[in-house]
Structure 1
Amino acid sequence: MRNAIDCISVLLKIIWHICMLVKTELASTIQQTYKMDKKTSVTIHDIARELNISASTVSRALNNNPRISQATKDKIKALALKLGYQPNIIASNLRNQKTNTIGIVVPLINRHFFSTFISGVEDVAFEAGYNVIISQSNDLFEKEKQIVHSLFSNRVDGMIVSLSMQTQQFDHFQLFSKKNIPLVFFDRVAPQLDADKIIVDDFACGFKATQHLIDQGFKRIAHLAGPTALNTYKARMEGYRSALEKNNLPVNDELIIFNRLTRMDGQQAIKQLLALDTPPDAVFCGNDTSALSIIVYLKSIGIRVPEDFGIVGFSNEPFSEVVTPSISTIKQPAQEMGQKAAELLIFEIEHKENPRKYQTITMPTELIVRESSLRKS
C-alpha cells in the first residue's frame, strides 16, 4: 500500500514539473509573439539600420528630395518595398498641417453637369497628389451646412462648392475664410463672398435661348425659372426678359414660373401655363429635366413639338440628344470648369498669397439646336 502511495506521489511531481515547463514555454511564446506584433510596423529607422545610413537620408529619399542621388533613392525604395514599409500619413499631415485632401459639395451628383465637373476636378487633383471627398446637398440648405462643417472638421485643405437651391445665408463658409482655407465656387456662386468663382454668362445664355425661339417664329414664350435667390437663375431670367424686350414682345409675369425644376415641377408648370386664357407657344426651361417632362406631357395630350410648341432646355444632359424630339439646350463646358476650379484651388492651397487676388472666370457656352425648337430650317 505504501509503495502505491509513493508511486502516485512521484507521478504527481512529474506532472507538476511538466505543467510548469509548459507554462514557462507558453509565456515565452506569448512574449515573443507580442514582441513580433509590436515590430510589424517597419519604420524609416529600420531601413536606415539595414543600409547603415541615417534616418534623415531615408526620409528624404522616400520624399524624392533632389539632394539624394537617384541610385540611393532606388536602393532605399527597393528595401522599403521589400520590408513592407508604409508611411504614417496621419503623422505627416499633422507635421505639415496639410491633408492633401479637397472637398467638393454639389447639389446633385446624378446630374450630368455636376458629375462631369467632378471628373474635371479629379483629373487635376490626382495629378497634383490630392485626394477628393465628394458630397451632395440634395439641394437642401441644412444638409449643405452639415457637409461644410464636416469637411472643415476633417481638415480639408480647400473646398469647391456649388450652392443648394435653398441657400440664402453663407455664414457656414466663414469657417473656411477665418482659417484662411481656400474656397472656389462654381455655377451657383455666392456673390457676397470673397472667393474664386467659375461661372458661365447666364444672362447671355438666357438671352441666346429666348432669341433662338423668337427667330423660329414663336411669339408667346414662357420661362421656367429656378429660385432667383441664386444669381444663376436670376441672370437667366433677366436674359430671357431682355430678349423679349429687344424684339418688342411683351414681358408677361404670368408666363414666368419659379420652382425647383424637377420632373414633377415641369409637368405642373406646363399644366398651369396651358390653363391660361392665352397660353404660350414656347418655353425656355432652366434645365433639361423640366424640359423633358414638358415634352412627355405635351405628347400625351396631342400637342406637337416643335410644330405647335417650342422648347429649349439647359445643361445638355445626355438624354437630351436621344429622346424624340431631341431637346435644344445650352451646353456648359463642365469638364473644363472642373479642371479650372481645381487649378485655382490647388494654387491657393500651395501659395497662400496674402492679400489674395480673387478671380471670377467666365467660361464659354454653346446653344445646341435640336428638334424641340427647330421650326424653320
Structure 2
Amino acid sequence: MERKASVTIHDIARELNISASTVSRALNDNPRIRKSTKEKIKALALELGYQPNTIASNLRTQKTHTIGIVVPLINRHFFSTFISGVEDVAFDAGYNVIISQSKDLLQKEQQIVNSMFSNRVDGLITSLSMQTSAFEHFQLFANKNIPLVFFDRIAPGFEANKIIVDDFACGFKATQHLIDEGYQRIAHLAGPTVLNTYHDRMEGYKSALIKNNMPLEDELIICNRLTRMDGQEAIKKLLDLKNPPDAVFCGNDTSALSMIVYLKSQGIRIPEDFGIVGFSNEPFSEVVTPSISTLKQPAQEMGQKAAELIINEIENKELPRTYQTITMPTELIVRESSSRKFN
C-alpha cells in the first residue's frame, strides 16, 4: 500500500479487507474484537504511521481528556511536586495535563485561564498568583460547569473543590517552636495577606505570641513577595530597628535563606544569636549551612487528591455539585537554623 500523508481507519480497513468500524473498535480495545484481530490491526496501524484524529473524537464526545494546571512558579519544589502528583493520577485515568505558570502576576494568570478555557480543557486545577484578589476570570469555567479545583492559595467564597493545609496551625507551630527555643522577640515575614495562606500563617504567628504573653508589634511584621531580594531587604530593615528581633518566621524558604546569608555576612551567629524558620521544605533547606527549619506540606498527596477530585467531577455530570475543602497534614521540621538546644 502506498503511504499517504495522513492514514485513516478506512485505509487500514481496505488493506485488511475488513470494515472501518471493526478497525475503530480494535484500536479502542473493544472487548468484542478478538485478540488476534486487534493485534493484526494495531500492527498495521503502527507500520503505516496511523494517528487518531483526536480533534474529531473530541468534537463527538465533547471531551478533550485534558486537565489544565496553573501554578505561580513551576521552579518551586512544592508546585513541581504537586504537579507530579496530579500527573500520577491523571495519566493512569487517560488524561493529559497542560501546565503553565503565572509567575505570580495577575494579568498573566488571567491570560492563561482564558487560553485554557478557549482550548476546551475538561477541568482546571490552580493556585492563585500573589496579585490575585478578584476571581472573575475563573467564572468562565463556573458558568459552563467546567470543574475547578483550587489548592494552597484558594479563592475564598468561590464554589469549587479546594485542597489546603492548616496555615494558621503552621504559623502557630513555627512561632511556638521559636518561643520554646528561648527567642524573645520574634518577627514575621509574610507574603501578601489578601491570600488565605499568608493571612492565616500571620494569624497563627500572632496567636502564639498572645498565648505566651508576648507583645504584638506592627514593626516586626513585614509583607512582601518573599523573593531572595525581599528577604534580604526585610532582614536589613528589621536589624535597623531600635529594638531588633532575635528570630524570624518566614513565609517561604527562599526568603529564609537570603536572611541567613545576610546575617552570616554580618557576623551574626545562627541559631545562637538569631533563629529562623522557613516554609515549604525546599530541597536546599536541608543541605545549606546552617540547615533551615521549615514546615513541610504533603505536595505529592495534594496533587493526587486534586486529580482525583477533578476527574470525578469531569466524569460525574450530576448537578448541582457538592464541593468540599480538604485540609492536608503538615510537619514542622526542626533543623540547625532554630535549634538552640543542640548548639
TM over 0.5: yes
Q: Is the counterpart of residue 58 in structure 1 residue 35 in structure 2?
A: no
Runs of at least 4 residues of structure 1 off by over 6 A? none
Q: Is the counterpart of residue 225 in structure 1 residue 190 in structure 2?
A: yes
CA–CA separation in structure 1 for the residues paired with 2:2 and 2:58: 25
> 1:38, CA displacement in angstroms?
9.4
Q: In structure 1, what is the equivalent of residue 76 of structure 2?
A: 111
Q: Name structure 1 gaps, 5 residues minimum.
A: 1-35
Deviates more, 1:203-212 or 1:50-59: 50-59
CA–CA separation in structure 2 for the residues paired with 1:332 and 1:168: 24
Q: Is the counterpart of residue 79 in structure 1 residue 56 in structure 2?
A: no
> 1:352, CA displacement in angstroms?
2.2
Note if contact 2:3-2:48 (Cα within 8 Å) is conserved in structure 1.
no
- In structure 1, the residue corresponding to 2:172 is in which secondary structure? helix
CA–CA separation in structure 1 for the residues paired with 2:230 and 2:7: 59
> 1:37, CA displacement in angstroms?
8.8
CA–CA separation in structure 2 for the residues paired with 1:154 and 1:295: 44
Q: Is the counterpart of residue 235 in structure 1 residue 200 in structure 2?
A: yes
CA–CA separation in structure 1 for the residues paired with 2:285 and 2:48: 54
Write out aligned runs for 1:21-36 (5 A): none
Q: Is the counterpart of residue 206 in structure 1 residue 171 in structure 2?
A: yes
CA–CA separation in structure 1 for the residues paired with 2:173 and 2:180: 10
CA–CA separation in structure 1 for the residues paired with 2:201 and 2:28: 49
Q: In structure 1, what is the equivalent of residue 232 of structure 2?
A: 267
> 1:65, CA displacement in angstroms?
1.6
Q: Pick the aligned partner of 1:132 from 91, 97, 110.
A: 97
Give TM-score, length-normalised by structure 2: 0.96
- In structure 2, the residue corresponding to 1:367 is in which secondary structure? strand
Output the amino acid matched with 2:122: D
Output the amino acid matched with 1:352: K
Output the amino acid matched with 1:242: S
Q: Is the counterpart of residue 154 in structure 1 residue 132 in structure 2?
A: no
> 1:192, CA displacement in angstroms?
1.7
Q: Pick the aligned partner of 1:303 from 257, 268, 272.
A: 268
Q: Pick the aligned partner of 2:134 from 144, 169, 176.
A: 169
CA–CA separation in structure 2 for the residues paired with 1:40 and 1:138: 40
CA–CA separation in structure 1 for the residues paired with 2:244 and 2:48: 76
> 1:355, CA displacement in angstroms?
1.4
CA–CA separation in structure 1 for the residues paired with 2:11 and 2:223: 66
Aligned length: 342
- In structure 1, the residue corresponding to 2:140 is in which secondary structure? helix
CA–CA separation in structure 2 for the residues paired with 1:119 and 1:70: 34
Q: Is the counterpart of residue 46 in structure 1 residue 15 in structure 2?
A: no
Q: Is the counterpart of residue 250 in structure 1 residue 218 in structure 2?
A: no
CA–CA separation in structure 2 for the residues paired with 1:74 and 1:246: 70
CA–CA separation in structure 2 for the residues paired with 1:146 and 1:171: 12
What are the superposed Cα offsets for residues 308-328 of structure 1, whole Å, 9 maximum, x if unpaired? 010000000111111111100
CA–CA separation in structure 1 for the residues paired with 2:265 and 2:4: 72
Query: Structure 1 residues 289 and 216, CA, compared in 2 at 3 Å: closer, same or farther?
Result: same
> 1:185, CA displacement in angstroms?
0.7
> 1:254, CA displacement in angstroms?
1.2
Structure with bigger helix share is 1
Output the amino acid matched with 1:151: M
> 1:174, CA displacement in angstroms?
0.5
> 1:345, CA displacement in angstroms?
1.0
CA–CA separation in structure 1 for the residues paired with 2:318 and 2:267: 61
Output the amino acid matched with 1:101: T
CA–CA separation in structure 2 for the residues paired with 1:165 and 1:290: 15
Give TM-score, length-normalised by structure 1: 0.88
- In structure 2, the residue corresponding to 1:376 is in which secondary structure? helix
> 1:50, CA displacement in angstroms?
3.1
Q: In structure 1, what is the equivalent of residue 278 of structure 2?
A: 313
Q: In structure 2, what is the equivalent of residue 89 of structure 1?
A: 54
Q: Is the counterpart of residue 339 in structure 1 residue 304 in structure 2?
A: yes
> 1:49, CA displacement in angstroms?
2.7
Query: Structure 1 residues 291 and 40, CA, compared in 2 at 3 Å: closer, same or farther?
Result: closer
Larger gyration radius, structure 1 or structure 2: 1
Q: In structure 2, what is the equivalent of residue 15 of structure 1?
A: none
CA–CA separation in structure 1 for the residues paired with 2:47 and 2:229: 59
Q: In structure 2, what is the equivalent of residue 29 of structure 1?
A: none
CA–CA separation in structure 2 for the residues paired with 1:116 and 1:260: 21
Q: Pick the aligned partner of 1:178 from 133, 143, 155.
A: 143
> 1:277, CA displacement in angstroms?
1.4
Output the amino acid matched with 2:194: A
